[in-house]
């Protein structure tokens, strides 16, 4: 059975087979074959990808090109922010001077339902993630005015 793993190439997440050739990895990420691509390894030198060689890929593996801009730019409430790769919901809210007791932070999803990011949970953040904040306590009806 061929299982799949999640890797990142230049910050973008891909769900890929456990074994892929260098050329297939570059093709996947739309990287020209002549561009240098490396596997980032903790506490060790980067491993340069050879186009013809097959690689064993593991979950969470990160590959980058030389020109990769490591900053993660996201949108919160229609404004751009540079953030870290791992952040809690509260840390993201702090970017817009909002607190979790007053505001909730929601990530816009294209396919699935939007997802609330909880204040104390750590999340992996991706380039171009889009978030919005909204007040926690909004009620429908009950009071107000209906004057004409």
Spatial contact of 25 and 55, defined as CB atoms under 8 Å apart:
yes
Integer-rounded Cα Rg, in Å, for the chain is: 20
CA distance 31 to 21: 13
The reply on whether position 32 binds another protein by CB under 8 A is no
139 binds another protein (CB under 8 A): yes
Torsion of CA 16, 20, 22, 24, to 10 degrees: -60
Size of the residue set binding another protein (CB under 8 A): 19
Candidates 68, 81, 126, 132; binder of another protein (CB under 8 A) is 132
CB of 84 to another protein, least distance (A): 24
| In the complex, least distance from residue 88 CB atom to another protein, rounded to whole angstroms | 21
Return d(Cα 23, Cα 31) in angstroms, integer. 9
CA distance 62 to 66: 13
Q: Residue 71 or residue 134: which is nearer to another protein going by CB?
A: 134
**Selected binder of another protein within 77, 90, 119, 126 (CB under 8 A):** 77
Residues forming the site for another protein (CB under 8 A): 77-78, 114, 132-135, 137-148
């Amino acid at each position: 059975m061929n299982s799949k793993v999640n890797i990142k190439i230049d910050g973008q997440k891909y769900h890929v087979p456990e074994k892929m050739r260098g050329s297939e990895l570059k093709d996947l990420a739309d990287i020209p074959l002549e561009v240098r691509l490396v596997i980032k390894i903790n506490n060790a030198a980067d491993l340069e990808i050879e186009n013809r060689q097959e690689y064993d890929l593991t979950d969470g593996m990160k590959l980058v090109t030389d020109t990769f801009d490591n900053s993660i730019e996201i949108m919160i409430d229609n404004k751009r922010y540079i953030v870290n790769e791992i952040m809690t919901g509260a840390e993201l809210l702090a970017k817009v001077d909002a607190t979790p007791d007053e505001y909730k932070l929601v990530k816009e999803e294209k396919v699935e339902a939007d997802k609330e990011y909880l204040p104390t949970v750590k999340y992996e953040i991706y380039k171009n993630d889009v978030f919005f904040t909204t007040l926690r306590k909004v009620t429908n009806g009950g009071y107000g005015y209906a004057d004409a």
